[in-house]
Amino acid sequence: MVICPKGVIVGDLIASVLGTVILLVIIALAISLLLAFPVMWTWNAVIPYLFGLQTLTWGKAWCLLFLSGCLIKSTSYNTKK
């Protein structure tokens, strides 16, 4: 058992940080899965009628949301100095 200078056990500190990281990953995943529904509804309302393509399932909409987020990122650069 290792004790930090402030009396905190290192194992407890690591467990606390790991728990927080896991919770944040779960929250981010839940938010991304919820954002797939508007993509699915918008696609299914417009694309099949305009282009004759198939409708999307919820899983395919999530994959499309993930891919578009990876490919099309909005970055801003401060050009003023």
One-letter amino acid of 62? W
57 CB contacts (<8 Å, ≥6 apart)? 40
pLDDT score for 70: 85
Domains of the chain by residue range: 10-71
Q: pLDDT for 46-71, tens place per residue?
A: 999 999 999 999 999 999 988 988 88
Question: For 4-44, what is each residue's pLDDT tens digit?
Answer: 556 556 677 788 889 999 999 999 999 988 999 999 999 99
pLDDT of residue 48: 93
- How many of the other CB atoms lie within 10 Å of CB of 66? 13
pTM: 0.64
Q: What pLDDT was estimated at residue 13?
A: 76
